[in-house]
Amino acid sequence: MLTVTNLSYTYPEEHQPSLKDISFTVAGGECVCFNGHSGCGKTTLLLALKGLLAEENLEGTIKYGGAPMNREEILAAVGLVFQNAESQLLCSTVFDEVAFGPENICIPPAEIYQRIVESLTAVDLLEFGNRNVERFSAGQKQRLCIASVLSMHPRVILLDEPTSQLDGKGKSDLLKTLRLLKSQGISIIIAEHNIEPFTGIIDRYYLMAAGEITSVQDHAPEEYRYGYGTSTPVERRKRPADSSEPLVSADSVFVSYAGSANILNSVSLEIMPGELLHLYGENGCGKSTLLKTMAGAIRPDSGLLTISGRDFPKAGGLLGIVALLFQNPQRQLFEDTVQDEIAFTLKRLELPTEKIERTVEFTLTLCEVIHLKDRLPLTLSFGEQHRVALASVIAPDPKLLLLDEPFAGLDPTQRLRLLKILTRLREESNTAIVIASHDPLPDPCWADRIITMQNGEIVPPEVSPL
């Protein structure tokens, strides 16, 4: 049994503790989940349990089986799977990755072979042993991360937001693996915003706020059941204005990359001005490629594509007309202040200074970041950076806004806040908005229309799962 008593931690150079008097127990074969808004201390708690925080700032005890563990014992007994599988995989092949941990703790090679086989069998990746991890899907990478931790024979496994990059299949494969580990007596601790996939295996829920456990319950908190239990849906919206001319018109569009089959396979769709669209589908089904094609960043191999009256537009030709927000805001933030960041595209459009100032002010207010206007964007929290990145792409008042997996890394409150901002944007500017995601929307009624994609094709509405 893992017993944590009065655990507190303050980061160096911080005044407020990030963890305050955390106490809980997890028995072998139990699975518990820590919920809370971004910044509430979930990840810090997992790092503390794994022994990755500075000991001098850590108070309280962590015991396994009644005895406190030292760092060496924690190393093998506790396995941590981080949120980002991509940066966690350090080796090129599956075998190398799984062998990495045991090699570091001097496990003899003959035993490493046995552990590799066990771990990869558990996550159903044994047949991929010699493969380059580059070609793995997000779900396979996540399961490989678990295998690389399992090979160290942990008694406790910690998972930090394991589903943030996973689609439905990835989640169901992960759940199968966790169920198996649980049945084998391994304790599992999950920190997650989206608990829906795991409700069948979680024994207890710990709700956290400001570094403290605020409540413990044995049923799933409604707020964290992504897309299912939204208690405060986004307010009702006006219907889009009628228009005979579609903003986007795609007819039999094909797109392929070198060395692969068609990514988009005869895609035909129309998007009307002011329409709210949810583009739904599993990872790799072609959602992102479709968004990039509509943004003019990818040219179709064949078919007809018209955006706002322009045939086969190039990215530069759509500046101020189409905006694309990528999943990770850090990819597009670089200016010294938030207001400079938002003014960047406006300056490139050579608008008058007065208009730029007015637009920046309006956009900052719309995206609820006016109080951050003089801050350095890269020092903001993830949620704040996300809103600044959104503000920077909507500032030129585009007719079409495309968002690629915009909810990844956001907590339930931030997700709803984003939907509210987008609704206001449609009401103010009649912007057509397309959200591409592998999950249902936090407010299932938000979109005017849902389009499901599968294998590069648009699925007819009558067979769509949503």
Partner 1 sequence: MRRRMTGSDYACQYRAVDSPVHRLPAGWKMLISTALSVWILVVREPTPLFLATVSCLLYYFLARLTVRDFWRDTRYFLVQFCILISLFVYREGYPAGVWPGVRTSLQIVLFFIPGIVFLRTTQVSSMMKGLRKVVPYRILFLLFTSLRFVPFFAREMQEISMAQKLRGARLSPTEASRPVFWRDIFSCLVLPLLVRAMKTADEAALSAQARGMGSRSERTYYDVRELEAYLATHQKDGIATADPKNGEGICPARTSSGGETLTK
Site for partner 1 in 96-125 (CB under 8 A): 96, 99-114, 116-119, 121-122
- Token pair in block for residue 96: 């190398």
Q: Residue 323 Cβ, how far from partner 1 at the closest point, in Å?
A: 7
Number of residues that bind partner 1 (CB under 8 A): 97
DSSP for 115-161? HHHHHHHHTT-GGGTTSBGGG--HHHHHHHHHHHHHTT--SEEEEES
Residue 310 as a binder of partner 1 (CB under 8 A): the answer is: no
Best CA proximity match to 368, nearest among 326, 422, 443, 329: 422
Apex 175 CA angle, 174 and 178, nearest 5: 90
Residue 292 as a binder of partner 1 (CB under 8 A): the answer is: yes
Q: What is the distance between the alpha carbons of residues 78 and 64, in angstroms, rounded to a whole number? A: 10
Rule CB under 8 A: which of 224-253 touch partner 1? none
Residue 260 as a binder of partner 1 (CB under 8 A): the answer is: yes
Cβ within 8 Å of residue 146, ≥6 positions away:
81, 122, 123, 157, 159, 174, 177
Q: What is the distance between the alpha carbons of residues 93 and 112, in angstroms, rounded to a whole number? A: 15
Residue 88 as a binder of partner 1 (CB under 8 A): the answer is: yes
Amino acid letter for position 172:
S
Rule CB under 8 A: which of 359-418 touch partner 1? 378, 392-393
Terminal alpha carbon distance of the chain: 41
Q: What is the distance between the alpha carbons of residues 367 and 325, in angstroms, rounded to a whole number? A: 14
Q: Residue 463 Cβ, how far from partner 1 at the closest point, in Å?
A: 19
Residue 203 as a binder of partner 1 (CB under 8 A): the answer is: no
Stretch of 81-89, 188-196, 360-368, 424-432 contacting partner 1, by CB under 8 A = 81-89
Residue 25 as a binder of partner 1 (CB under 8 A): the answer is: no
Grouping H, G, I as helix, E, B as strand and the rest as coil, residue 215 is strand
Residue 323 as a binder of partner 1 (CB under 8 A): the answer is: yes
Cβ proximity to partner 1: between 227 and 396 the closer is: 396
Q: Which of 32, 48, 263, 338 binds partner 1 (CB under 8 A)?
A: 263
Cβ proximity to partner 1: between 231 and 260 the closer is: 260
Q: Residue 391 Cβ, how far from partner 1 at the closest point, in Å?
A: 12
Best CA proximity match to 145, nearest among 187, 84, 205: 84
Stretch of 3-11, 178-186, 191-199, 430-438 contacting partner 1, by CB under 8 A = 178-186
